[in-house]
Amino acid sequence: DQQVKQNSPSLSVQEGRISILNCDYTNSMFDYFLWYKKYPAEGPTFLISISSIKDKNEDGRFTVFLNKSAKHLSLHIVPSQPGDSAVYFCAASAGSNFGNEKLTFGTGTRLTIIP
Partner 1 sequence: KAGVTQTPRYLIKTRGQQVTLSCSPISGHRSVSWYQQTPGQGLQFLFEYFSETQRNKGNFPGRFSGRQFSNSRSEMNVSTLELGDSALYLCASSSLPGGTPLETFGSGTRLTVV
To partner 1, the closest distance from the beta carbon of 102 in angstroms equals 4
What is the DSSP pairing of strand 62-67 with strand 4-5?
unpaired
Among 42, 60, 69, 83, the residue binding partner 1 under the rule CB under 8 A is 42
Q: Count Cα neighbours of 49 within 13 Å in the Cβ-side half-sphere.
A: 15
* Interatomic CA distance for residues 14 and 1, integer angstroms: 34
Looking at the Cβ atoms of 72 and 79, the one nearer to partner 1 is 72
List contacts with partner 1 (CB under 8 A).
2, 4, 6, 34, 41-46, 49, 89, 91, 93, 97-108
